[in-house]
Structure 1
Amino acid sequence: MSYSVTANYYLRNLYGSNKDYIIGSTRLQASNASVVSADSKALAKGAKKMMSLDYGSYATDDDIENAMLGNNIKAFIDTYNNTIDSASDSDLKDIKKLVSKMKTLGKEYEEELEELGITFDDDGYMTIDSSAVENLDNKKFESVFGEDSDFTKTVRSLARKLYKHIDASI
């Protein structure tokens, strides 16, 4: 695994009853299908959350709003990375295709995301620079992650398809 995940309130909220699949032994001991199911369901929920967030009315809002937004962005990225990780290990052809689409999507939006301090490594994992979270420009993040975002809508759609394919195969 070439990324790190920190379980916190925001991430646990996305995983809900599947919070044991965030990190740790449950994730390692469960079947790949169960982990992909938990990850893709959490990712769809995370994308929906990103689209419904109040990004504020100013480019920069108060510290509390910025901290909440930063934590939601980090949770979304962690869930995205978990999904890439688990789905890449799947033997199912349809799942492999959907992971490939997610990685391609990342490349399509790479320039926009880099402006926000978000980058992708060679394996398709997303990272955010800590200074990007500290110096949030809410309106820029809203344009990439908000309700009108094609990126976030597509991530949500792909996550839902992953979940349906895995759910049907379990």
Structure 2
Amino acid sequence: MAAVAGTGTSLSASYYLRNFYTANRNAVTSSKRKEMTGGTLSQADATALHRAAKKLRNFNYEDDTTDSANIYGSVNAFIQVYNNTLSSGNKTDDASLNRYSRYLKSLSKEHSSELSRIGITVNSDGSLSANDNLLKSAKVSKVRTLFADDAEYITKVSRYSKKMAEKADSVVLSETLGSNIDLTL
């Protein structure tokens, strides 16, 4: 029986990380990531980021029984996936993947003050890092302003990651075929 967030069971960031990388579990471990092509890695990361954004958008932040430990686990996993996505997007020669990485960085910098209120720092390279004590103690209402379904930040992360995953699909196909053609429809 799978544990469901909000039912009294606290799920760890590693649980959420594995869940977000369901489409390609090999992308979770650093040793396996080193063996993957840039396109495959970008595809796995962007797909996982889209799943993470969807999960965070679907939490019930209004419910008084919202389990903040599960939100904390999801946000921590989101940070890891976000950073992986930036890294893999910048490691390919594909201009579109690089552009979406820049969009994500710009978006996070735009929302840096809101992110810092819940313990998330936007680093100079655009990556995110968490202050665990601040993040764990952040009020659910503050987390909601960034990650609820109607929040601009997570909505745009979701949109950019979806487009990035779609573009990465064509990069993977090009890598597989051994050519550098753009097959985006």
TM-score by length of 2: 0.82
Structure 2: 5+ residue stretches without partners? 1-11, 173-185
For residue 87 of structure 1, report the CA deviation from its aligned partner: 0.6
Instruction: From 122, 139, 163, give the equivalent of 1:137.
Output: 139
Aligned pair in 2 of structure 1 residues 116, 97: CA closer, same or farther (>3 Å)?
same
Aligned CA RMSD, in angstroms, stands at 1.6
Residue 150 (structure 1) aligns with:
152
Residue 17 (structure 2) aligns with:
11
- Looking at structure 2, the residues matched to 25 and 70 of structure 1 have their Cα atoms a distance apart, in angstroms, of 26
Residue 51 (structure 2) aligns with:
45
Q: Read off the aligned partner of 2:16 and give its amino acid letter.
A: Y
What number of residue pairs does the alignment pair up?
Answer: 161
For residue 132 of structure 1, report the CA deviation from its aligned partner: 1.8
Residue 170 (structure 2) aligns with:
168
Residue 91 (structure 1) aligns with:
93
Superposition pairs of residues 35-114 of structure 1, within 5 angstroms? 35-58=41-64, 65-114=67-116
Structure 1: 5+ residue stretches without partners? 1-5
Residue 35 (structure 2) aligns with:
29
Residue 3 (structure 1) aligns with:
none
Higher relative contact order (CA 8 A, sep 6+): 1
Matched residue SS, 1:9: helix
Deviations 1:81-102 (A, max 9, x none): 1101111111111111111111
- Looking at structure 2, the residues matched to 134 and 159 of structure 1 have their Cα atoms a distance apart, in angstroms, of 26
Deviations 1:49-73 (A, max 9, x none): 1100122434xx67xx111110011
Q: State the percentage of identical aligned residues.
A: 28
For residue 28 of structure 1, report the CA deviation from its aligned partner: 0.4
Superposition pairs of residues 120-135 of structure 1, within 5 angstroms? 120-135=122-137
Matched residue SS, 2:121: strand
For residue 128 of structure 1, report the CA deviation from its aligned partner: 1.2
State whether residues 46 and 162 of structure 2, in contact with CA within 8 Å, keep that contact through their aligned partners in structure 1: yes
For residue 149 of structure 1, report the CA deviation from its aligned partner: 0.6
Q: Read off the aligned partner of 1:154 and give its amino acid letter.
A: K
For residue 39 of structure 1, report the CA deviation from its aligned partner: 0.3
Deviations 1:104-136 (A, max 9, x none): 111110111111111111111101111123213
Q: Read off the aligned partner of 1:129 and give its amino acid letter.
A: N
Give the structure with higher Rg (CA).
2
